[in-house]
Amino acid sequence: MGLRFFGLTSEHKIEIHKVLFALVYYSNGGFTHSEVYNMPIYLRAFYIKQLEDAKKEEAEAVKSASKKGNTFKR
């Protein structure tokens, strides 16, 4: 395929749709596909970062709680 001066490559389209999916799916109904699709890129990046941070905190809380739960002795 020749050079593309305008438009996105197939690889870029896939990456963009992975981000769209992540925001819609992992926000548990916080965003619709059309909201995320039409959202400015800087806001998409902001919300992805916030979502990543929130999920990491949740995972750490679960890990911490499970460690505390394992200290029970019979």
Residue 70 pLDDT greater than 80, yes or no: no
Note whether residue 2 is domain-resident. Answer: no
Grade residue 57 by pLDDT with cuts at 50, 70 and 90. very high
Note whether residue 61 is domain-resident. Answer: yes
Note whether residue 56 is domain-resident. Answer: yes
pLDDT given for residue 18 in this prediction: 94
Label each residue of the chain as H, E or C.
CCCCCCCCCHHHHHHHHHHHHHHHHHCCCCCCHHHHHHCCHHHHHHHHHHHHHHHHHHHHHHHHHHHHHCCCCC
4-47 pLDDT, tens digit each: 567 888 888 999 999 999 999 998 889 999 999 999 999 999 99
Note whether residue 35 is domain-resident. Answer: yes
Could you list the residue range(s) of the whole structural domain that residue 51 is in? 10-68
Note whether residue 50 is domain-resident. Answer: yes
Average pLDDT of the residues in 52-71: 88
Number of structural domains found in the chain: 1
